Structures are given as structure tokens and as C-alpha cells.
């Protein structure tokens, strides 16, 4: 994510995740995990400041959890959050990108990514890289903004970008910029159709979409 590796932006991003829409999203994500038989390896790609993976560690204490992010500054915040929640021994954090994941072939059972898809520079390559590291039968779960979000949510993020969020995020037009960069159903469907994934389920919601891909 361009510009997210500065201390100011990393700290500002962490504050933004306490904004109500983001809390609701993470709560929704956690509830969606109930339908999966999570057993061993669980990787959060683009884990950010650890909001999701820390909650997963508390809910599923027996999982092997790995958080991956490009930003070293963001990962420091994630490590701190893990310590504060007494789950630091349950999570390994690694620097890496979705186009070049630090895992061997067919080594991961479950990968999740939230609010990062619209930042992927080469989505086709990213999907193929995830396909490479997933075990047969493995699952990729994506939660991201959709550009055609309902008007009230668009207005909410526009207000937040101008008034609520820290100055460091206003300078890079976040979080509204992320909403505008999000895909719509037809766009992401076309991209995925050109990858190795064939078992695809995409569900649109008010302001985001849930995408489940199985290998």
C-alpha cells in the first residue's frame, strides 16, 4: 500500500480501524469464519495493525497463525496489539507481499485478506501466488470495499475522510480513496476467471463484497 510505511500513516491507519464501519466489518468477518472447519494453518495477508488476526487468535487458540504485510511500521503496531491481548506467542508476523508470499508450494490451508484487494498492483499474479501456496482443498477468503457501495455508506466515508480521520490519512484521501478503488462484481469476476481458481463464490453486501475461492 503506497504511503503506508511511514510512522505517521501507520499510526493514523490504526486509529481509523476504530471507526464504526471498520469495527462492523471485522465483526462480520469473524462471524463468517464460523462456517469453516479451521484446523491448522491460517494466514492473514495484508494483516495491517492486527485487528483481525488478534481476534482470530483469541477465538481459535489452536490455529497456527501468520500475519503478512508489506509495511514494517504497521507490523510493529500489530505485534504490540498481540502483546496487549496476550496472544503474541500464537501469531508469527512476516513482511511480504501478496505477489510474493513467503511460503512453500501447497503449504497453507486457509488464507484471508481484508481491505487489501484494491491495493494489489497485479491481481492476476496475486491470485496465482495464493493458488500456489494453498493446499489442495484450501480456501481463500476476501473481504473488500465495492466501488458501487450504497450512497449512505459512500457519504459516511466521504465525511470521515474530510472530518474524522487523522490528518496523515486525509493527505492520501483515505478511507474514501480505498472505496473508490474497489472493484465491482463484474470486474473482479472477470479477473478471477482468468486465474487458476474455478470454485468461486462472490456475495455483495452494502459497501463490500465477500469472495470465497477454493483450490
pLDDT band of residue 183 (cuts 50, 70, 90) is: confident
- Bridge partner list, 43: 66, 111
The domain limits of the chain are 7-214
On whether the CB atoms of residues 96 and 70 are closer than 8 A, the answer is yes
What's the pTM?
A: 0.81
d(CA 48, CA 46): 6
Task: Please tell me the predicted confidence (pLDDT) of residue 9.
Answer: 55
Select the more confidently predicted residue: 204 or 157.
204
Task: For residue 45, give the C-alpha cell.
Answer: 495477508
pLDDT band of residue 122 (cuts 50, 70, 90) is: very high
Is the per-residue pLDDT at 172 higher than 50? no
d(CA 113, CA 131): 14
- Over residues 54-93, the pLDDT tens digits come to 999 999 999 999 999 998 888 998 999 999 999 999 999 9
What mean pLDDT, rounded, does the chain reach?
A: 82
Task: Please tell me the predicted confidence (pLDDT) of residue 197.
Answer: 97
> Of 147, 132, 145, 138, which Cα lies nearest the Cα of 212?
138
Task: Please tell me the predicted confidence (pLDDT) of residue 155.
Answer: 52
Cβ neighbours for 138, distance < 8 A, ≥ 6 positions apart: 106, 108, 109, 110, 111, 214, 215
> Of 18, 22, 12, which Cα lies nearest the Cα of 168?
12
Q: Does CATH place domain 7-214 in 3.40.50.10090?
A: no
Amino acid at each position: 500500500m503506497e504511503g503506508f510505511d511511514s510512522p505517521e500513516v501507520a499510526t493514523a491507519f490504526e486509529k481509523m480501524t476504530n471507526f464504526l464501519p471498520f469495527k462492523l466489518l471485522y465483526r462480520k468477518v469473524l462471524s463468517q469464519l464460523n462456517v469453516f472447519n479451521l484446523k491448522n494453518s491460517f494466514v492473514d495477508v495484508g494483516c495491517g495493525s492486527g485487528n483481525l488476526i488478534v481476534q482470530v487468535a483469541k477465538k481459535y487458540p489452536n490455529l497456527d497463525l501468520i500475519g503478512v504485510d508489506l509495511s514494517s511500521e504497521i507490523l510493529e503496531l500489530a505485534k504490540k496489539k498481540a502483546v496487549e491481548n496476550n496472544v503474541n506467542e500464537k501469531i508469527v508476523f512476516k513482511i511480504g507481499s501478496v505477489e510474493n508470499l513467503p511460503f512453500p508450494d501447497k503449504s497453507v490451508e486457509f488464507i484471508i485478506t481484508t481491505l487489501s484487494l484494491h491495493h494489489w498492483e497485479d491481481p492476476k499474479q496475486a491470485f496465482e501466488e495464493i493458488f500456489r501456496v494453498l493446499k489442495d482443498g484450501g480456501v481463500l477468503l476476501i473481504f473488500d470495499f465495492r466501488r458501487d457501495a450504497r450512497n449512505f455508506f459512500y457519504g459516511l466515508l466521504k465525511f470521515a475522510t474530510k472530518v474524522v480521520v487523522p490528518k496523515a490519512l486525509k493527505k492520501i484521501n483515505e478511507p474514501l480513496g480505498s472505496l473508490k478503488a474497489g472493484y465491482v462484481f463484474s470486474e473482479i469476476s472477470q479477473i478471477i476467471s482468468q486465474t487458476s481458481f474455478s470454485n468461486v463464490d462472490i456475495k455483495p453486501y452494502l459497501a463490500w463484497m465477500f469472495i470465497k475461492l477454493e483450490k
